């Protein structure tokens, strides 16, 4: 199926799996795949149980070939990728010189190439940046989104046609070299064993046929989003804005190695981690569902009559009910009951702390005596 275009700047690749019975197309960053197939909560339960697969074929895929690929990616992004074994998975961020998040990628290496899974809107600019940074190194960068599609799920990976590499999300535990700010134990991410499998895009019709004969069950992206929100798992297309730094989103847990060599933005990462505190923090909001109003990403979060942040992701969870992620000012009291200003009504919201207000600094800096001060005996 040829890509369709919604406007001049936003091409949307429509999945053939949208032809399955009950499919309702998603919008926003998930445009082009199914939001659900008619039973969102049942699909969510099946996905959580490892019994369903999610069509994420609108995601972008970049393949980096060449013997220098891992050391090169290591040198320009936030994660230690040198030495990643064949079949190994990681997550990495491309930061700007001020430490703000520009791109995020799931990385899996197959022994010959590193595969990067990105958001649909990010694949072209990210691939273009990487291509400009090759210089004389033995690497080749290729946007292969037209040839490869992404399917996602939990638990064991089912039989898929001509399966390519499979990425396993490191969010289930704090990655080597990382740190989590969340004080909750166990972390809800421990119950988020996400995998993303690459399959040839031309075989998506065979995936649909497997569904038709009952060999495979599909769940929509609403199911995946609900489980992601409950796991406090940040997503580039939702939680990141022009000011985001990894510390605010607890992304040091999975995507940043604090003891690796230099890379763009490292100074800010180290300074905020060791000596400072992030200006904002990610929270989960437990939403009052009595009015039947579900806010939308971008809705204002209020403390009293003052806006203190914005909703980034919203979901209806099969056990927790209406929940959301939001980025708020660090100074907001953790015990404060907040208000989300939705289009139809104000919705009361209780916080669950993800990044504590007092997160950091990691290094205790001794207080030096003031120059010229006289110690009284």
Q: What is residue 341's predicted lDDT score, i.e. its pLDDT?
A: 97
Q: How far apart are CA 172 and CA 190, in angstroms?
A: 4
pLDDT tens for each residue of 333-348: 999 999 999 998 999 9
Q: Which of 54, 302, 74 is nearest to 196 (CA)?
A: 54
pLDDT above 90 (res 78): yes
Contact 148, 160 (CB under 8 A): no
The H or E element spanning position 325 is strand 321-329
Q: Round to whole Å and give the CA distance between 19 and 17.
A: 5
280-356 placed in CATH 2.40.30.110: yes
Looking at residue 235, its pLDDT comes to 98
What is the C-alpha to C-alpha distance for residues 103 and 119, in angstroms, rounded to an integer? Answer: 9
Instruction: Enumerate the domain spans of the chain.
Output: 4-239, 280-356
All residues at 6 or more sequence positions from 7 whose CB lies less than 8 Å from its CB, including other chains: none
How far apart (Å, rounded) are the C-alpha atoms in residues 350 and 339? 9
Q: What are the beta bridge partners of residue 105? A: 92
Residue 376 has pLDDT above 70, yes or no: no
Task: Assess whether pLDDT exceeds 80 at residue 5.
Answer: no
Radius of gyration in angstroms for the set of CA atoms belonging to the chain, rounded to a whole number: 22
pLDDT at 151 over 50: yes
Structure token digits, residue 28: 């926003």
pLDDT category at 367 given cuts 50, 70, 90 is: low
pLDDT at position 13 over 90 = no
For 294-317, the pLDDT digits (tens) are: 999 999 999 999 999 999 999 999
Cβ contact 217:22 at 8 Å:
no
Nearest to 19 by CA among 186, 211, 198: 211
> Token digits for 209?
């046929």
Question: What is the CA 246 to chain-centroid distance, rounded?
Answer: 11
The answer to whether 340 and 299 have CB atoms below 8 angstroms apart is yes
Distance of CA 129 to the CA centre of its chain: 20
Cα–Cα distance, 139 to 179 (Å, whole number): 31
> Is 60 exceeded by the pLDDT of residue 357?
yes
Residue 331 dihedral angles phi and psi, to the nearest 5°: -75, -10
Give the per-residue pLDDT at 12: 78
* Cα–Cα distance, 98 to 312 (Å, whole number): 22
Q: What local confidence, expressed as pLDDT, does residue 234 receive?
A: 98
Rounded CA separation 103/95 (Å): 7
85-123, pLDDT tens digit by residue? 999 999 999 999 999 999 999 999 999 999 999 999 999
Asked if the domains at 4-239 and 280-356 fall in one CATH topology, the answer is no
Q: Whole-model pTM?
A: 0.93
pLDDT reading at 3 higher than 50:
no
H-helix segments, the chain: 40-48, 69-76, 123-132, 204-212, 221-230, 236-239, 266-275
When pLDDT is cut at 50, 70 and 90, the band that residue 368 belongs to is low
Residues in CB range of 39: below 8 A, 6 or more apart: 22
Say if CB 107 and CB 79 are below 8 A apart.
yes
For residue 347, which of 331, 323, 366, 372 has the smallest C-alpha distance?
323
Cβ-contact 177, 258 below 8 angstroms: yes
* Domain 4-239 class in CATH: alpha beta
Average pLDDT over residues 4-21: 71
- Give me the percent of the chain exceeding a pLDDT of 70: 93
């Amino acid at each position: 199926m040829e890509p369709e275009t919604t406007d001049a700047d936003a091409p949307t690749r429509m999945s053939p799996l949208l032809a399955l019975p009950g499919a309702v197309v998603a919008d926003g960053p998930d445009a082009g795949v199914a939001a659900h197939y008619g039973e969102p909560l049942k699909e969510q339960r099946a996905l959580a149980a490892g019994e369903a697969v999610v069509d994420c074929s609108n995601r972008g895929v970049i393949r980096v070939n060449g013997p220098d690929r891992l050391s090169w990616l290591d040198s320009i992004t936030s994660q230690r990728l040198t030495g990643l074994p064949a079949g190994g998975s990681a997550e990495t961020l491309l930061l700007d010189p001020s430490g703000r998040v520009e791109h995020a990628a799931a990385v899996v290496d197959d022994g010959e190439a590193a595969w990067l899974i990105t958001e649909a809107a990010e694949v072209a600019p990210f691939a273009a940046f990487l291509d400009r940074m090759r210089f004389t190194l033995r690497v080749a960068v290729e946007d292969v989104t037209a040839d490869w599609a992404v399917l996602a799920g939990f638990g064991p990976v089912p039989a898929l046609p001509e399966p390519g590499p499979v990425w396993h999300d490191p969010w289930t535990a704090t990655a080597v070299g990382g740190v989590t700010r969340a004080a909750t134990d166990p972390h809800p991410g421990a119950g988020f064993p996400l995998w993303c499998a690459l399959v040839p895009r031309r075989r998506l019709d065979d995936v649909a046929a497997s569904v038709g004969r009952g060999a495979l069950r599909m769940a929509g992206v609403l199911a995946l989003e609900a489980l992601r929100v409950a796991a406090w798992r940040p997503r580039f297309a939702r939680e990141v804005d022009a000011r985001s730094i990894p510390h605010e989103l607890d992304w040091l847990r999975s995507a940043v190695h604090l003891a690796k060599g230099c890379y763009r933005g490292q100074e800010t990462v180290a300074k905020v981690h060791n000596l400072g505190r992030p200006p904002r923090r990610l929270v989960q909001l437990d939403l009052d569902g009595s009015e039947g109003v579900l806010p939308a990403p971008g809705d204002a979060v209020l403390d009293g009559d003052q806006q203190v942040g914005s909703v980034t992701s919203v979901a209806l969870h099969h056990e927790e009910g209406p929940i959301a992620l939001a980025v708020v000012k660090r100074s907001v009291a953790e015990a404060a009951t907040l208000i989300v200003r939705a289009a139809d009504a104000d919705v009361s919201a209780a916080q669950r702390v993800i990044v504590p207000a007092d997160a950091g600094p990691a290094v205790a800096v001794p207080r030096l005596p003031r120059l010229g001060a006289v110690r009284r005996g």
